[in-house]
Amino acid sequence: MSMDLPVYFISDIHLMLKRTESAIKREEILYSFFDHVKNSGGTLFINGDLFDFYFEYQDVIPKVYAPFYYQILKLRESGVKVHYVLGNHDFWVMDFINDYLFDEVYENDLKIDIAEKTFYITHGDGYLSWDRSYRVLKRFIRSRLFIWFYRSLHPRIGYAFGRWVSKKGEHYKHSDEYNKRIADEMQKQAKPFFDGGCDYFISGHYHQAKELKDENGKMLILGDWLSFFTYGKFDGQDLTLNHWGKNEND
């Protein structure tokens, strides 16, 4: 796939349904990063959980995200192509997301070639070997039956439930021991992709920032934009993990 370099990867922004002072500050940091991407002339991948909760109705979209809609359209108008991999918090999209907001939207994992390197990109949910019950839940909440039922609810009811299940950020913090267990497990999950010819495996979801090498490839867990403010960058030669605020010149 032909893409303008560099290609940037971010994940787990979790724009909140309530615009608190801290949420607005996080957005300002994100939009400063968007300016950096725009000035680079590159490409942007958003790898899931852009929103902490998003459910699109036929004629209704959440107005609380209006500042983001404006910023992403401004980024695209500058010539930056924006790709969006759906996550477990924001899978339920319709034509506004698909046709108006992003250049490409992916419901599932994807394998692509960029500058003669092969990437496997996944939001990452459901990969852990002990996530059996979650994988059952994931199939259900992505089913046509569930989506039909939820869209039959009045949007105010649907979003009242969304506010109830939406977290404030603390939910995404884990112990060092648990994070290491996840990173080790994801390395095991990535190995077959490296053995099959992939150069890079990119995941979000786990709210830790890790760059891990295999003898045949490299894996990034992208961190988040709640506390890490991390991003992946592919310059045509190598994929690296960077911290916004420390690597502005990248």
Domains held by the chain: number: 1
Calculate mean pLDDT across residues 83-98: 89
The amino acid present at 72, given as its one-letter code, is I
Domain assignment of residue 223, yes or no: yes
Domain assignment of residue 250, yes or no: no
Residue that is written with structure tokens 């990248």 in the block: 250
- pLDDT at residue number 247: 59
Domain assignment of residue 122, yes or no: yes
- Its pTM stands at 0.93
- pLDDT at residue number 45: 99
Domain assignment of residue 210, yes or no: yes
Domain assignment of residue 2, yes or no: no
Segment 50-89, tens digit of pLDDT: 999 999 998 889 999 999 999 999 999 999 999 999 988 8
Confidence of residue 248 (pLDDT cuts 50, 70, 90): low
Is-contact 221 204, C-beta < 8 A? yes
Segment 165-217, tens digit of pLDDT: 776 544 567 788 989 999 999 999 999 999 999 999 999 999 999 999 999 99
Any idea what the CATH number is for the domain that residue 71 is in?
A: 3.60.21.10
- C-alpha closest to that of 220 among 44, 3, 9: 9
- pLDDT at residue number 224: 97
Domain of residue 102 covers 7-243
Domain assignment of residue 249, yes or no: no
- pLDDT at residue number 169: 47
Domain assignment of residue 63, yes or no: yes
Domain assignment of residue 1, yes or no: no
> Which 8-state DSSP code applies to residue 141?
H
